[in-house]
Amino acid sequence: MVEIGKKVPDVKLLLTGNREARLSDYRGRWLVLYFYPKASTPGCTQEGLDFKEAIFKFRRQSTVILGASRDSLRAQERFKEKQGFPFDLVADTEEELCNAFGVLKMKNMYGRQVRGIERSTFLIDDQGVLRHEWRGVKVKGHVDDVLETLKALKKG
Q: Which of 8, 11, 31, 44 is catalytic?
A: 44
Q: How far apart are CA 142 and CA 150, in angstroms?
A: 12
Burial of 79 (0-12, 13-18, 19+ CB in 10 A): buried
Does the annotation count 98 as an active-site position? no
Inter-helix orientation angle 42-53/142-155, to 10°:
40
Query: 149 Cβ partners below 8 Å, 6+ apart?
Result: 123, 132
Task: Give the residue numbers marked as catalytic.
Answer: 44
